[in-house]
Chain A
Amino acid sequence: MSGSTRMAYDGIVVCAPVTVPYRRYSANSAHWWIGRALQALTKQSGLQPSELDGLSISSFTVAPDTAIGLTQHFGLSPRWLDHVPFGGASGIVALRRAARAVQTGDAEFVACVAGDTNHVDSFRKTLSTFSRFAQDAVYPYGSGGANASFALIAKNYMNTYGVRREDFGKICVAQRDNAMAVPHALMKERLTLLDYMAARAIADPIHLYDCVMPCAGAEAFLVCGEAAARSLALKGVHLLSTIERHNAFPEDAIQVRGGWAVDVDELWSMAGVGPQDVDFVETYDDYPVIVMMQLEDLGFCRKGEAAEFVRAHTLTNDGTFPHNTCGGQLSVGQAGAAGGYLGLVEAIRQLTDAPLGTQVADARIGLVSGFGMINYDRGLASGAAILASAA
């Protein structure tokens, strides 16, 4: 699968990283959160709302609206509009589409926004009506939500590859270290491996600190041409390559790999760099077992060797293999679909020297990975992007 025929993202930049600080519960609607993000995006970019001619929306809780209803709600009149309800893969998918829209001239400035609210009880409602397969074949079985589904995946992964809970714990503890300087992280108490191991069981082998905390929040970024960004004096990052794959490996009885494994060679060949060239990695961290799958399937180590890889690195911003540099969802919280934007927005910040927390030294190339939508027994959506600083 070498020799990519994919067109390069020449002349495209990603800029204006926006985070609306998260809250555990919010009485406001998803519309409010998305609106806040759009407002912050226009302020940061210096664009008028009317200049946003492209809009991409990701949200679980904006019903009964979709992106089209939001145009009227926000008084926008875009000539390119997208709705990307793909959970943890939303950021990568929105980015890929927006980049091509700008490249082809269908839009000049695409605002990509993900936001969700978290009312008391909205999480339960999201779970029970998440998908038809979830309604028919998962939720009535203990109603443990994603925790139970990923427990089965994690259990099988541990059995198959001899992984211990301590290995998962290393990831969570390192991420918490990275979160300590992030002002709006919902979980900012230092976590030790002892704390991790002693936490209460949620759905064996998933324990408390393997789980993200559902919350309200929004994330956004802007995709535009290099010249346009320069005229707005916006610092942007380049897009070296992207991949996206859904419902890969249906023949696996239980998920041990994601769609990245199908397209990983093209991801690297299109970017013209290799895993050793990457300065930091933002994986989708709901749950640590999925982090391990991403490390394997994206080529940082071989299948089954992620635990060993994790043991060999600090995973912290000041150490080796900086990973989930703002703390990831495990520390800052999971604001619905915004969780699928978190790594991407953080990567833009790291590559433009504007992190919310600590800076990874000399960060020039970053990899961001997305994963989402546990429709029945496995996550269906996967994607990844390699970004480079403009310097």
Chain B
Amino acid sequence: MTEPLTPPKRKNPLKKTRGPLNPQGARSRTAHGLTMAATEGRFALQRCSDCGIVVYPPRDACPTCLSPRLPYQEADARGVLVAETTVRVSTDPYFRERMPWRVGTVRLDIGPVLVAHLHGDLKEGEPARLELKLDKGGAPVVFALPDKDTPHMQDDPQLREMTCDPTFRRVLITDGCTPVGQAMARAFSAVGSSIVFVGVAQAWKPFQGMDALRAIERVEIVPFDITDTESVIEQAEQNGGRIDIIINTAEHIRAGGIIERRGIGVAREEMDVRYFGLMRLAQAFGPAMRFRGADGVNSATAIVNLLSVYALMNWPVYGAYSAAEAACLSATQSLRAELRPGGVRMVNVFFGPLETEWFQAVPPPKVVPSALARAVIDALKRGLEDVFVGDVAEDVRARLAVNPKALERELAG
């Protein structure tokens, strides 16, 4: 039985702050196939294209037929925990801080044997199901869970090291004036985040949904303008030391390509909100978050950036907007590398056209803000790094994997 998490007590200032350390993150290039699957929450292993056997650990030749054709494919994750051990002595500083630590040998029904981190509710000899997770340092690992869900299983201490569960964590939503920001506030309150700071740029100016937002439990409206460096810094000074998760909902969505815009005023605003905005956010909040990446059950854990899926491939109908999103995406890749040593995850949530004011002319399917919020919560609970929300986002991602050039031409209309 997993001990349910209780609201963390106020921290004793005399106690040490557990410094952010990560397990060894080095992996072979081939093993990064696991990274790709883990970032999206899929379970994939190498399967030989010639003889069909499933292979683990990652290899460059099939141990049955020596074929070099070993693509990663979705695999059946069921197996049995053959043997377990509780490691009590470790040479690694990360694990030394977290002793004892349970690992075990799982034999999958489809053949291979995997050494895995163990969930507390899984016992030797029992059926197990495996997931690929990103560990504290973002490296891919195999995690073995009981085959059926158990009460409070998400609160397992070893599992929680791999996830960014928002329960009892403190959240900042950067823009509460939009339907997306408000949906996020409702979702994080409902999932048990201990406080939900919601940024509003101009407090004197009423906005749609304002009263409903104020009525949400544990929501605290705070002054926050992502285009104003002073404002961002002020908020970081006020609450930065206790914010565990940031959801960047700041958006600037306008239709139009590059030539028809005539001038760069709007493009500059887009960049100011999205690219420079993310930069201000990261510079103001990043240092404290990185420092608090291992600080107890409510450690700093993630920055979530909402991104148009057209960051990955320009959609000329929203051409300038897509370009700003692409800049923002590139910045998140740098931020990932910068946040990783602190054990803080940069989560990119890619969405297709939203059911909001700025996509009125776009035909369905579209994503409603509440679905986007659900996807963000799910991503944090599972510890994902890349998420695609809605049919259009899934479609773009699938086509991009097959033929990026075809996607470019087809998006041109």
Contacts and interface: CB of A to CB of B under 8 A. Distances in A.
Nearest to B135: A140
B115 A138 contact: yes
B85 A377 contact: no
Given A133-B57, A250-B63, A254-B83, A140 B24 contact: yes
B313 to A, nearest CB: 32
A144 to B, nearest CB: 4
Contacts of B91: 123-124, 127-128, 143-145
A202 interface: yes
Contact of A140 (B28, B104, B124, B141): B141
B14 interface: no
A135 B104 CA distance: 17
Given A140-B139, A156-B105, A135 B87 contact: no
Given A159-B83, A202-B89, A143 B27 contact: no
A376 interface: yes
Given A133-B57, A155-B85, A254 B113 contact: yes
B56 interface: yes
Interface string A259-294: 000000000000000000000000000000000000
Contact of A136 (B57, B90, B94): B57
Contacts of B114: 137
B49 interface: no
B72 to A, nearest CB: 14
Contacts of A254: 82-83, 105, 107, 113
Interface in A108-154: 123-124, 127-128, 132-133, 135-145, 147-149, 151-153
B116 interface: yes
Contact of B115 (A137, A145, A156, A253): A137
Contacts of B104: 152
Contacts, number: 123
Nearest to A149: B115
Given A140-B139, A142-B95, A203 B88 contact: yes
Given A136-B57, A141-B117, A377 B87 contact: no
A153 B82 CA distance: 10
B68 interface: no
Contact of A128 (B24, B56, B58, B117): B24
Given A142-B101, A151-B85, A377-B105, A136 B115 contact: no
Residue among B27, B82, B84, B89 with max Cβ neighbours from chain A (10 Å): B89
A210 B92 CA distance: 21
Contact of A141 (B28, B86, B113, B141): B141
Contacts of A148: 85, 87, 103
Contacts of B63: 250
B135 A147 contact: no
Contacts of B85: 144, 148, 151-152, 155, 203-206
B28 A136 contact: yes
Contact of A377 (B86, B102, B113): B113
Interface string A226-263: 00000000000000000000000010011000000000
A121 to B, nearest CB: 9
Nearest to B143: A141
Contact of A144 (B27, B87, B124): B87
A390 interface: no
B259 interface: no
B95 A137 contact: no
Interface string B52-86: 00001110000100000000000000000011111
B90 A142 contact: yes
A193 B14 CA distance: 43
Interface in A9-36: none
B83 A156 contact: yes
B24 A137 contact: no
B1 interface: no
Contact of A156 (B82, B89, B141, B142): B82
B26 interface: yes
A152 B83 contact: yes
Nearest to A131: B57
Contacts of A141: 103, 115-117, 141
B297 interface: no
Interface in A148-197: 148-149, 151-153, 155-156, 159
B23 interface: yes
Nearest to B99: A142
B103 A142 contact: yes
A201 interface: yes
B82 A135 contact: no
Contacts of B115: 137-138, 141, 149, 152, 376-377
B31 interface: yes
Contacts of A133: 57
Given A133-B57, A201-B86, A376-B57, A253 B105 contact: yes
A139 B139 CA distance: 12
A233 B47 CA distance: 60
A123 B87 CA distance: 17
A253 B111 CA distance: 9
Nearest to B30: A136
Given A254-B82, A254-B83, A135 B27 contact: yes
B119 to A, nearest CB: 14
Nearest to A136: B31
A128 B25 CA distance: 10
Contacts of A128: 24, 26, 91-92
Nearest to B86: A204
A152 B105 contact: yes
A339 B23 CA distance: 29
B89 A253 contact: no
Contacts of A124: 91-92
Contact of B113 (A135, A139, A201, A253): A253
B23 A143 contact: yes
Contacts of B95: 142-144
B94 to A, nearest CB: 8
Given A132-B28, A136-B27, A254-B105, A147 B89 contact: yes
A360 to B, nearest CB: 35
A345 to B, nearest CB: 28
Contacts of B113: 253-254, 377
A141 to B, nearest CB: 5
Contacts of A201: 86, 88
Nearest to A133: B57
A135 B24 CA distance: 8
Contacts of A152: 82-85, 103-105, 115
Contacts of B31: 136-137
Contacts of A136: 27-28, 31, 57-58
The 4 closest A-B pairs by CB, nearest first: A143-B92, A151-B85, A144-B87, A137-B57
Interface of B: 23-28, 31, 56-58, 63, 82-92, 94-95, 101-105, 107, 113-117, 124, 135, 139, 141-142
10 contacts: A128-B91, A137-B115, A140-B141, A141-B141, A142-B90, A143-B94, A155-B124, A202-B89, A203-B87, A254-B107
Given A140-B141, A253-B113, 9 more contacts: A124-B91, A132-B57, A139-B92, A143-B94, A144-B91, A152-B103, A153-B83, A203-B85, A376-B57
